[in-house]
Amino acid sequence: MMNVIEFQPDSTVDLYSTAHFMIMQQGEDAVEMLDSEAHTLRKRGATDELSACLHLLRVVKELIDMEYRGPIH
């Protein structure tokens, strides 16, 4: 069974902390998981959920890229 993270933009859980949690739990597999979910949502026509998923996917990729680049300082 796959763990599901529900993105709630009106909650106190923000996009970056959700993305960070996904990376901590799934590693780089989070990208594949979100991409697969986005394809499913697109087929279903779930536009609001698709938008949230794509925003989360973008941030997950951004955080992984930052990790590979190393410390900013």
pLDDT tens per residue across span 7-62: 565 554 678 888 888 899 998 899 999 999 999 999 999 998 899 899 999 999 99
Q: Measured between alpha carbons, how far is residue 53 from residues 56, 68, 70 in Å?
A: 5, 23, 26
Q: What is the pLDDT of residue 70?
A: 80
Task: Please tell me the predicted confidence (pLDDT) of residue 33.
Answer: 94
Residue 2 lies in a domain: no
Rounded CA separation 58/48 (Å): 16
5 located within any domain = no
Question: 10 in helix, strand or coil?
Answer: coil
Is the pTM for the entire model greater than 0.85? no
Is residue 34 in some structural domain? Answer: yes
Give the total number of structural domains in the chain: 1
More confident call, 61 vs 68:
61
Q: Give me the domain span that covers residue 52.
A: 15-69
Report if residue 7 sits inside a domain.
Answer: no
Asked if the structure places residue 37 within a domain, the reply is: yes
